[in-house]
Amino acid sequence: MDFMTYKGYPLVRSGDDLYFGYMSEPHVVMLQTEGKKEVEGIAVSEKVRLYLMSTDQSLDPIQAIVRTSERESLYEALEVAATWLERSNA
């Protein structure tokens, strides 16, 4: 199965949440859209919350969260997420 990618990392959607990164690496980023606005008839994410998470399945989901942030657009959020993954999985 082929996934959409951004900067070499897979991007998988589950409802309004996006998962960014490889589950085989130490960390992935979960992106949650907080709100949407309409731009030229298209629903666009208004705020995106990011969670850098450990992929260690023995951890409780709350304990797995390493870092959080919030951005105004999906593009900004993906840029931050890509930087986090490059640094934490190096």
Cα–Cα separations (whole angstroms), residue 70 to 24, 62, 90: 25, 17, 23
- pLDDT, tens digit, 9 for 90 and up, residues 31-50: 998 888 888 888 777 899 99
pLDDT of residue 66: 95
- For the record, the structure tokens of 86 come out as 């490059």
Q: How many residues does the chain have?
A: 90
Q: Structural domain boundaries of the chain?
A: 4-88
pLDDT class for 81, splitting at 50, 70, 90? Answer: very high
- pTM score, whole prediction: 0.86
- For the record, the structure tokens of 49 come out as 């919350």
**Residue 29: Cβ-neighbour burial (10 angstroms; 0-12, 13-18, 19+):** buried
pLDDT of residue 16: 83
